[in-house]
Amino acid sequence: MHRSSHTTRLATVLLIALGAGPVTVVTVRGQPQAPAMERVTFDDAIARAIARNPTVAQAATAIARAEGLLQQARAVTRPSLDAVVSNVVLDSGRGFDSQIVQPRSQTTVSANVSVPILAASQWAAATHARDQIDLARLSTTNVRKEIAVAAAQAYLAIITEQRQVEVNMRARDTAQAHLDYAQRRLASGAGTRLNELRAAQEVASDEARLENARLAVRRAQEALAVLMAADSPVDAAGEPAFDLPTSPAMNDEPTWMAARPDVQLSAATERAAERVWRDSFKDYLPPVIASFDPQGLTPSGLFQPSRTWRLTFSLSQPIFDAGQRRGAARVREAAVESSRLTLTSLQIQARSEVRMAQESVRSTERALASVRLAAQQANEVLSITNTAFEAGATTNLEVIDAQRSARDAEASVAISEDAGRRARLELLTALGRFPR
């Protein structure tokens, strides 16, 4: 139904409620109809959110950064080659007895090749940098999960708010039918102005609830569009199917614990910190470097041959560093203990999430059965009350009360259905099965 018809009906009801006389309704042509909104399935929404959301792309840049750091760390452990060309011009040549010792203009071409023979600390740094690549990848996977969960919740919010729109629309239509009946009775002299005003008030209230529900739908559609990086609001195409695993799979803690991206990231962080700590002894090993330096000189001097080379082996061993290396080892040990405690805390939280999600699924199923029965009974009460009112056995107060009860009962069904869907989503997420 178009917004103009809703506005017209609401204006009519308000005028009646204010005690106005006969009303002439003028319908104003509404605005041009907006283009059809894109509708996506649940799986498509999750896939597009993971693929297009800028937060995921930003997290993925950490992988490229870690790869660059690894390349820098490995470069220190590999041979290096430097070349130098220099030309020296003096005011005049140097010599004695017609022998030139230092020519006036002399060009030197030299090179340096350095090869680390023993570089334990640098080799360990390259391994640590490789661990950071794995951590960056796991962190990106964890961000993908968070974006997927957020997109799933926005998708479910659209479905729930659309259910609320349907509930409020049915309630508005029921209240409008009661208002029409009250107006006919008043016109025939059998009804009262009080009954008409009560019915009109209920219609106006239902119209306001309907508009609020429609706005909530639009908010959820915009939230899903933002997560999917879409340029316009996106609508849900249908309810998702959450296939829960069997009880043995849910009770297999080692399997589902290892499948959680956050646990994987925390465990990898602990392993990386422990590796850094274990490699602390390598700081005490002396680095050994071999260096080869060839040199060419033209023109050569009396005491300077035209071609020379030098091979050097150097070993450097710090004797006293004032406790710097011991302090670094203690910092690394503290990092290991911190990461270990973080992992333990996360595992405790994961077990609690799984237990709570399982109980939520069972509880929402029981609650949904109860509210559906209550909604069925409320609709039956409304039907009986309407029949009794038309027969003159009750007043319209009972009718309005029955209408409100039926509306609230159907709204509770929608809320309980949403709680059930979210509980199943939370269980799959806690078990590391979402996103697939």
- Give the model confidence (pLDDT) of 160-216 as tens digits: 999 999 999 999 999 999 899 889 989 988 888 998 999 999 999 999 999 999 999
- Give the model confidence (pLDDT) of 358-396 as tens digits: 999 999 999 999 999 999 999 999 999 989 988 888 888
SS3 293: strand
Cα–Cα nearest to 182, from 418, 411, 399: 399
Cα–Cα nearest to 206, from 411, 69, 46: 411
Q: Diameter of the chain by CA atoms? A: 144
Is the model's pLDDT at 420 over the cut of 70?
yes
CA–CA separation, 250 and 353 (whole Å): 12
Is the model's pLDDT at 290 over the cut of 50?
yes
* pLDDT confidence bin for 33, thresholds 50/70/90: low
CA–CA separation, 180 and 186 (whole Å): 10
What mean pLDDT is reported for the chain? 88
Q: How many CA atoms lie within 13 A of 48 on its CB side?
A: 17
Q: Tell me the mean pLDDT in the region 306-320.
A: 89
Is the model's pLDDT at 11 over the cut of 50?
no
Cα–Cα nearest to 10, from 20, 31, 25: 25
Q: Tell me the mean pLDDT in the region 8-28.
A: 39
Which superfamily is assigned to 35-85+104-430 in CATH? Outer membrane efflux proteins (OEP) (1.20.1600.10)
Residue 123's CB: how many other CB atoms inside 10 A?
Answer: 18
Q: Which range has the worst mean pLDDT, 24-38, 39-53, 417-431?
A: 24-38
Q: Tell me the mean pLDDT in the region 225-231.
A: 95
CA–CA separation, 185 and 187 (whole Å): 5
Q: Note whether 394 and 221 are within 8 A (CB).
A: no
Residue 292 has phi, psi (to 5 degrees) of: -120, 125
The per-residue DSSP string of 187-218 comes to HTTSS-HHHHHHHHHHHHHHHHHHHHHHHHHH
Q: Tell me the mean pLDDT in the region 419-428.
A: 95
pLDDT confidence of residue 35: 64
pLDDT confidence of residue 30: 44
Is the model's pLDDT at 5 over the cut of 80?
no
pLDDT confidence of residue 6: 44
Q: Note whether 239 and 156 are within 8 A (CB).
A: no
CA–CA separation, 10 and 203 (whole Å): 8
Is the model's pLDDT at 8 over the cut of 50?
no
Residue with more model confidence, 34 or 348: 348
* pLDDT confidence bin for 263, thresholds 50/70/90: very high
Q: Tell me the mean pLDDT in the region 405-420.
A: 94
Residue linked to tokens 């009250």: 182
Q: Tell me the mean pLDDT in the region 1-16.
A: 42
CA–CA separation, 311 and 291 (whole Å): 6
Does this model's pTM top 0.85? My answer is no
Burial label, 172 (beta-carbon count in 10 A; 0-12, 13-18, 19+): buried
CA–CA separation, 221 and 237 (whole Å): 12
